[in-house]
């Protein structure tokens, strides 16, 4: 049974399903009413004591009393207005709209009245609740113009605030800010602290949507100064908003403190909506802090309060609908009782149809909620995969950095070995020359020729260049391939060597020493290499090589 109630609560949030459930509910009540006959006809004032319909009967009595004075249409209009606001508070928008329109009909053509401003704003609120922004703004704009004509500053402030709320819902933040700032200015001039507080909160909400968290915090803090200690749901809501701002700016201790205070205040008020909101915000904050156990615990509590809130709302709506039905039923009860015998069979059929409809709706709703839960799980799995991929990416980047360090260490080792070999050759040559100088009878000419021959032999060795090529390709693996592909004519080995030395940003003098040629020869070689490459005249050849 609890499971069925939970499914019904979830389905009732959907407009089309809510309408279907109402029809089924009325059909079942009709059958039960006819089947029970005259056994249960307790007066409303007794049967509904302590329920929302007590207020309904009081409003109905007020409406009937006002109808006894048709010469005072404003009283009738006010009664319809109050009844419409009662329906609106329970989310019964169709019934609320009907009462508001009846109130407008009672006013007739006398629209230049403060009561018209309230009615028109309330109709706009209904459209805003249904996300019909075009019609909502049409009514708010009409109210704004009437407020200006009547010089009604408070009505104008409220209308501008509602226009701002509509623009904000549509993501039109610039227009929303403009309307809310004008509304704030009017409330401040009127000294309306509640209006000032609510408008500051609305402006903070816009800046929060724009991710301008400093400004959002500023206006939320102003709103809280007015609401602090009021013990109302508005105070709790502002505290939750402040907690959101701190969480989004990664100030998690402050976020926990503000949201914790909101939770405590919500518990005192026993406000299910604010309790759900506070627990949900705490869950988000702990998740960002990495404390997933607490995050999960608060999320479960938020879901419990959400379910409780939905059950409460649905129970209230059903009670009001039942009361409406019972009120309407009394007006036609005599006729229905006369026809009871004729329609008993039809009523039984209707009951079976209703039961089958309920089973079908429950089945569809259960499947719908199941798919919704699966989709939520898939989203969570996707986020986990994204996090894992990000960690793997970081690991690869770290490995690449380690490889680069090892490569540079190897290069230093090779250069050290190269210098060592050069120093050994020079040391051997120095020792040989000393020996020649010390021996007087030695054939100096012949010995010097042998040294020259040995030096030439060492200079002709390509081993150093082979090692240089290996080392260069390790550091710049794609350079030679890119350089060769840029030239229409094939480049000679000497030109490739020149290009590699230029890539190392060596001067012409240094290149001449390495290639064992004169600096002039290097300049000529650079000029020839430049002509073979698609390089701009103003660009330096060295920069071109470095950019490859």
Q: What whole-number percentage of the chain has pLDDT above 70?
A: 81
Residues 254, 307 share a domain: yes
Chain CA centroid to CA 291, Å:
21
| 22 and 8 assigned to the same domain | yes
Inside any domain, residue 44: no
Angstrom distance (rounded) from CA 273 to CA 302? 9
363 or 322: which carries more pLDDT confidence? 363
Residue-number span of the structural domain to which 412 is assigned: 389-475
- pLDDT value at position 27? 37
Residues 307 and 348 in one domain: no
Residue 381 lies in a domain: no
Q: Distance (Å, rounded) from C-alpha 522 to C-alpha 515?
A: 9
Alpha carbon distance 519, 198 (integer Å): 81
pLDDT at 146: 84
- Are residues 434 and 404 both part of a single domain? yes
pLDDT at 316 over 80: no
pLDDT at 409 over 50: no
Domain co-membership, 436 together with 491? no
Please check the confidence at residue 419 and state whether its pLDDT lies above 80. Answer: no
Q: What is the mean pLDDT of residues 113-123?
A: 83
Residues 421 and 352 in one domain: no
Instruction: Give the pLDDT score at 408.
Output: 59
pLDDT single digits (tens) 220-268: 999 989 888 888 888 899 999 999 999 999 999 998 999 999 899 889 9
Q: Indicate whether 412 pLDDT > 70.
A: no
Instruction: Indicate if 401 and 449 belong to the same structural domain.
Output: yes
* pLDDT of amino acid 411: 59
Cβ(112)–Cβ(83) below 8 Å: no
Per-residue model confidence (pLDDT) at position 509: 86
Residue after which a domain boundary falls, among 444, 475, 506: 475
Q: How far is CA 359 from the centre of its chain?
A: 37
Provide the pLDDT for residue 63: 82
Domain stop point among 451, 475, 499: 475
- What is the C-alpha to C-alpha distance for residues 282 and 74, in angstroms, rounded to an integer? 49
**CA 431 – CA 372 distance, rounded (Å):** 89
In a domain, residue 297? The reply is: yes
pLDDT tens, position by position, 10-22: 444 444 444 444 4
SS3 152: coil
Task: Classify 262 as helix, strand or coil.
Answer: helix
Domain total in the chain: 4
Least confident interval from 29-33, 142-146, 406-410: 29-33
Does some domain include residue 431?
Answer: yes
CA distance 317 to 53: 10
pLDDT for the residue numbered 74: 81
Residue 204, both tokens: 């903070």
Q: What is the pLDDT of residue 84?
A: 87
Q: pLDDT grade, residue 52 (50/70/90)? A: low
- H or E element at residue 86: helix 73-89
Q: How high is the pLDDT of residue 22?
A: 44
Q: Are 238 and 223 in contact (CB under 8 A)?
A: yes
Instruction: Indicate whether 304 and 269 sit together in one domain.
Output: yes
The answer to the question of residue 245 being in a domain is yes
Does residue 18 belong to any structural domain of this protein? Answer: yes
**Per-residue exposure over 62-100, b if at least 16 CB sit within 10 Å of its own CB, e if not:** ebeebeeeeeebebbbbbbbbbbbbbbebbbbebbbebb
pLDDT band at 177 (very low <50, low <70, confident <90, very high): very high
Q: CATH number of the domain that 292 lies in? A: 1.25.40.10
Query: In this structure, are 32 and 18 located in the same domain?
Result: yes
How far apart are alpha carbons 147 and 116 in whole angstroms? 10
Q: Is 468 helix (H, G, I), strand (E, B) or coil?
A: helix
In terms of domains, do 469 and 487 share one?
no
Stretch 426-433: mean pLDDT: 72
Give the pLDDT confidence score for residue 149 in this predicted structure. 85
Average the pLDDT over 179-187 and give the result: 92
| Residue range 26-45: mean pLDDT, rounded | 35
Q: How many Å apart are CA 165 and CA 80, to the nearest integer? A: 26
- Residues 457 and 487 both lie in one domain: no
What was the pLDDT predicted at 186? 92
Q: What is the pLDDT of residue 538?
A: 85
**31 has pLDDT over 70:** no
Please, what's the largest Cα pairwise distance for the chain?
A: 154
Q: Is residue 143 part of a domain?
A: no
- In this predicted model, which residue has the larger pLDDT, 175 or 315? 175
Comparing CA positions, the residue from 63, 55, 93 lying closest to residue 80 is: 63
pLDDT, the chain, mean: 79
Report the pLDDT value the prediction gives residue 260, as an integer from 0 to 100: 92
pLDDT for res 53: 66
Q: Residue 185: which pLDDT band, with cuts at 50, 70 and 90?
A: very high
Residues 245 and 288 in one domain: yes
The structure's pTM equals: 0.50
Residue ending a domain, among 450, 475, 500, is 475
| Distance separating alpha carbons of residues 237 and 455, to the nearest angstrom | 89
User: pLDDT tens-digit profile of 341-391?
Assistant: 777 777 788 888 888 889 989 889 888 888 888 888 889 888 888 888 889
Least confident of 156-160, 208-212, 459-463, 528-532: 459-463
Other CB atoms within 10 Å distance of the CB of residue 216? 24
**Of the listed ranges 26-30, 73-77, 320-324, the one predicted with least confidence:** 26-30
* Residue 133 pLDDT > 50: yes
Closest CA to 96 of 59, 147, 138, 149: 59
pLDDT digit string (tens) for 485-534? 888 788 888 888 899 888 888 888 888 877 778 889 999 999 998 988 88
Please give the Cα distance from 89 to 102 (Å, whole number). 18
Position 459 scores a pLDDT of 57
Residue 482 lies in a domain: yes
Closest CA to 452 of 433, 427, 437, 465: 433
């Amino acid at each position: 049974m609890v499971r069925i109630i939970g499914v019904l609560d979830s389905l009732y949030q959907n407009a089309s399903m809510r309408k279907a459930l109402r029809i089924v509910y009325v059909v079942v009540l009709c059958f039960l009413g006819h089947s029970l006959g005259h056994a249960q006809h307790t007066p409303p004032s007794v049967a509904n004591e302590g329920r929302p319909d007590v207020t309904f009967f009081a409003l109905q009595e007020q409406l009937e009393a006002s109808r006894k004075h048709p010469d005072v249409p404003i009283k009738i209009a006010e009664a319809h207005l109050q009844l419409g606001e009662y329906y609106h508070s329970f989310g019964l928008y169709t019934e609320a709209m009907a009462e508001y329109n009846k109130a407008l009909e009672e006013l007739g053509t006398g629209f230049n009245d403060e009561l018209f401003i309230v009615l028109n704003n309330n109709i706009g609120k209904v459209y805003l609740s249904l996300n019909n922004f075009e019609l909502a703004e049409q009514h708010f704009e009409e109210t704004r113009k009437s407020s200006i004509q009547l010089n009604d500053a408070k009505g104008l402030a409220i209308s501008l605030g509602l226009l701002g709320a509509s623009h904000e819902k549509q993501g039109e933040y610039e227009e929303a800010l403009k309307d809310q700032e004008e509304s704030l200015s009017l409330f401040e001039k009127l000294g309306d602290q509640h209006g000032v507080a609510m408008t500051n909160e609305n402006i903070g909400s816009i800046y929060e949507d724009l991710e301008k968290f400093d400004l959002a915090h500023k206006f939320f803090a102003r709103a809280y100064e007015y609401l602090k200690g009021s013990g109302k749901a508005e105070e709790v809501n502002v505290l939750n908003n402040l907690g959101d701002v701190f969480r989004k700016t990664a100030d998690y201790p402050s976020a926990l403190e503000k949201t914790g205070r909101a939770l405590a205040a919500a518990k005192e008020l026993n406000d299910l909506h604010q309790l759900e909101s506070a627990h949900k915000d705490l869950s988000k904050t702990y998740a960002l802090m990495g404390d997933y156990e607490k995050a999960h615990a608060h999320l479960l509590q938020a879901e419990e309060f959400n379910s409780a809130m939905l059950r409460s709302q649905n129970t209230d709506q059903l009670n009001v609908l039942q009361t409406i039905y019972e009120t309407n039923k009394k007006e036609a009860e005599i006729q229905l009782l006369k026809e009871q015998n004729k329609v008993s069979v039809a009523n039984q059929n209707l009951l079976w149809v209703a039961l089958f409809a309920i089973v079908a709706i429950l089945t569809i709703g259960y499947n719908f909620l199941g798919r919704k839960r699966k989709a939520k799980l898939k989203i969570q799995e996707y986020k986990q995969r994204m996090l894992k991929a990000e960690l793997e990416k970081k690991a690869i980047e770290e490995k690449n950095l380690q490889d680069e360090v090892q490569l540079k260490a190897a290069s230093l080792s090779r250069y050290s070995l190269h210098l060592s070999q050069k120093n050994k050759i020079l040391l051997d040559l120095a020792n040989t020359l000393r020996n020649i100088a010390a021996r007087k009878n030695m054939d100096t000419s012949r010995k010097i020729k042998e040294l020259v021959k040995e030096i030439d032999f060492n200079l002709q060795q390509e081993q150093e260049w082979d090692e240089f090529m290996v080392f260069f390709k390790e550091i710049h693996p794609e350079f030679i391939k890119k350089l060769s592909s840029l030239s229409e004519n094939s480049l000679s080995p000497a030109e490739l060597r020149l290009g590699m030395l230029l890539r190392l940003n060596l001067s012409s003098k240094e290149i001449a020493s390495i290639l064992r040629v004169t600096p002039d020869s290097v300049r000529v070689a650079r000029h020839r290499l430049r002509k073979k490459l698609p390089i701009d005249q103003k660009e330096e050849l060295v920069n071109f090589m470095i950019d490859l």
